[in-house]
């Protein structure tokens, strides 16, 4: 059952006559427009869900290819590993190469963030640059670069934590 509402509107006579004459057509047109918008929104939601699923599958494939590459690469080299992986999955070698590159970048970014967090923790503990370098197995110059990346300026960190040893 439709609810009825009453509205008092002050409009010009010509507009009122046009609404009376063409009102049902206008309402049908508005209904069609609203239904079209709802259909478009539903289609966009379906398309987005499909794209999200494809992206999730893309990353699963990327991880599988990377793991296989890590197993095969020491014995076969990159040139030998890519065709084997491509044959297993039925992909072109260029796709395998791209998947491996993407995954390697993600892993390297993760490892870099872990290293930076480790350096930051050691700075807060009051360790010297040489202790940090020894713990991570990197040069003092690399530690200075990490410190610069963490805070913007490694000398400022040393002033804050009153640690005068190491690279300044």
Per-residue pLDDT of 106-151, as tens digits, reads 888 888 888 888 888 888 888 888 888 888 888 888 888 887 777 6
Q: Does residue 26 fall inside a structural domain?
A: yes
Has residue 151 been placed in a domain? no
User: Is 129 in a helix, a strand, or coil?
Assistant: helix
Is residue 115 assigned to a domain? Answer: no
Nearest residue to 65 via CA among 37, 12, 57, 132: 57
Of 16-25, 63-72, 118-127, 135-144, where does mean pLDDT reach its minimum?
16-25
Q: Is residue 83 part of a domain?
A: yes
Distances (CA, A) of 166 to 14, 112, 120, 122, 153: 87, 22, 15, 14, 14
pTM for this entry: 0.48
Domain count, the chain: 1
Indicate whether 147 belongs to any domain: no
Q: How far apart are CA 101 and CA 94, in angstroms?
A: 10
> Residue 42 is encoded by which pair of tokens?
């539903």
Q: Is 92 inside a domain boundary?
A: yes
Domain containing residue 52: 14-105
Closest C-alpha among 84, 58, 81 to residue 70: 81
71 in any annotated domain? yes
């Amino acid at each position: 059952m439709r609810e009825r509402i009453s509205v008092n509107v002050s409009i010009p006579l010509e507009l009122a006559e046009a609404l009376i004459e063409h009102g049902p057509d206008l309402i049908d047109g508005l209904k069609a427009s609203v239904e079209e918008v709802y259909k478009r929104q539903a289609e966009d939601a379906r398309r987005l869900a499909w794209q999200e699923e494809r992206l999730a599958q893309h990353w699963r494939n990327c991880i599988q290819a990377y793991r296989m590459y890590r197993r095969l690469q020491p014995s076969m080299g990159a040139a030998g590993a890519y065709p084997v992986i491509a044959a297993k999955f039925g992909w072109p070698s260029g796709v395998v190469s791209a998947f491996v590159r993407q995954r390697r970048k993600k892993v390297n970014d993760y490892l870099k963030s872990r290293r930076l967090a480790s350096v930051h923790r050691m700075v807060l503990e009051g360790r010297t640059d040489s202790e940090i370098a020894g713990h991570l197995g990197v040069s003092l110059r690399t530690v200075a670069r990490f410190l610069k990346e963490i805070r913007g300026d490694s000398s400022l960190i040393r002033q804050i934590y009153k640690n005068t040893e190491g690279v300044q």
